[in-house]
Amino acid sequence: QKEVEQNSGPLSVPEGAIASLNCTYSDRGSQSFFWYRQYSGKSPELIMFIYSNGDKEDGRFTAQLNKASQYVSLLIRDSQPSDSATYLCADWNSGNTPLVFGKGTRLSVIA
């Protein structure tokens, strides 16, 4: 049974700082991961997808994957109060297999 672990937080950072969100996963064979953002009472919103070891950048977001350590992270540069949300890490195999979500880390960006 796949498991994805995230620190539930809250993680508090000041506006303009870098927020670092982390996720570990249990299945050594896992290949790909998604980061979703979920505002309170809303649905998950896709932020990034990563499948290769190393970094992937998209605007203010950088996803990092280390398969040897079974570790995925998301960095948010120049954090804004509007980034305050719960960030969900999800493990995905391929095709139409389901996403396996972590419980999410709540981020609070303080103005």
Partner 1 sequence: EPEVTQTPSHQVTQMGQEVILRCVPISNHLYFYWYRQILGQKVEFLVSFYNNEISEKSEIFDDQFSVERPDGSNFTLKIRSTKLEDSAMYFCASSAEIYEQYFGPGTRLTVT
Of 36-55, binders to partner 1 (CB under 8 A) are 36, 42-46, 49
- Is the separation of the CB atoms in 65 and 72 below 8 Å? yes
Give the per-residue contact string, 57-96, with partner 1 (x = CB under 8 A; - = no). -------------------------------x-x-x-x-x
Minimum distance between the CB of residue 111 and partner 1, rounded to whole angstroms?
26
105 binds partner 1 (CB under 8 A): no
